[in-house]
Structure 1
Amino acid sequence: MTTAILGFALFSLLVTVSPGPDLVLVLRNCLRGGRRAGAATGLGAAVGSLGWGVAAAFGLAAALQRWDAAFTFVKLAGAAYLVFLGAQALWAQRRAVALSKEPPPALLPEGDAPGALGAGAAFRQGVLSCLLNPKVGVFFVAVAPQFLPDGASPLATTLLFGVIDAVIAAAWLLLVTFGATRFMAWLRRPRVHRNLERATGGVLLALGIGTAVESA
């Protein structure tokens, strides 16, 4: 059992550190609300991952994998949400620049950036970003059986794998958050902040549009 847990944890870590929508969203929310917003987003994504792990354990993700219409619907809903977040980021920056009559100060204090984001809203965004990504559920369906030890309960073991994956996701995204906030003084310089907000908004838009095109 120990070997199975370590093997799944290593595989989960390799998948988790690969860049994806959750990572982009954490970085974007670090810019919008500072360390608290970034950490809340990461914890929300981990809760969403745990939700998919529980769903996989009880067969929902397997049903989504077999039922193409349901999988496509959830995937398109996730794509629409990413497009919404990306468009929201780009629009917020455009509006902030348009309303600015005076040159901005050299440095924006944490939490006072245009469109500053609260921890609660960031947490909800993290949860939705992960829950609207059915690939996370399919990951459990496809990968968990490969690590199930002989004689172990599929339900209990898959639930355990879900907890392990959520803990790894939370640890990684929190590490990213704390790493990013070390450079927050530089990142919050108005020109850098605007360019990064536009870049992350553009990446979220591209991810959402790419997912929608792939599903069409």
Structure 2
Amino acid sequence: MGPLGAGGFMVILVGGAPGLLMGIAVGFGARSWLARQRVGQSARLAKARVEEDLAPVGDLLAACLAAGAGPREAAEAVGRSLDGPVAVRLRHVAAELRLGGEPATVWGRLADLPGAETLARCMERAGISGVPAVEAVSRIAAELRAERGRAAAQRARRAGVLVTLPLSACFLPAFLTLGVAPVLIGLAGGLLGRN
């Protein structure tokens, strides 16, 4: 409806054949702009969902590793117990490892998710060399949780700034109209009245 409304507004505003041509151009432009905005928003939402899931996934992987499970078993258990893009990727990783996939290649698929690179490298090292990864995975999960907290605090600060902008847009004109203008009018009247 937005592109149609923008195009119709241009037709009414300009009128005639030029208005029709401009309306069509504005309508198509608005439609493509909205499509780009939707694609960008869906990508941001998918990234936010992945970032939201990573810290709990790291905690669960660390718990499974501490209980004695190997990296494949831990990925399989965590993938089955959760939903979301990270859990789906873990289920795929576990299935490929079970079928004999190369750990460096398979864990690289988890690393393709934004923010999961360090977790995937740690699990890959544990799968290849057998090095215990409990402490490293716990540390990575804590870092992911702390980063998520910092991002939330930054969004809250930004929201506070954005909330004050409309208030300043309302209060500044009111202050000028009710506070400064009467003083200036009184001063101008006093100066003009003396002449």
TM-score (normalizing by structure 1): 0.29
Tell me which of the two structures has the higher relative contact order, counting C-alpha pairs closer than 8 angstroms and 6 or more residues apart. Answer: 1
Structure with the largest fraction of helix:
2
- TM-score when scaled to structure 2? 0.31
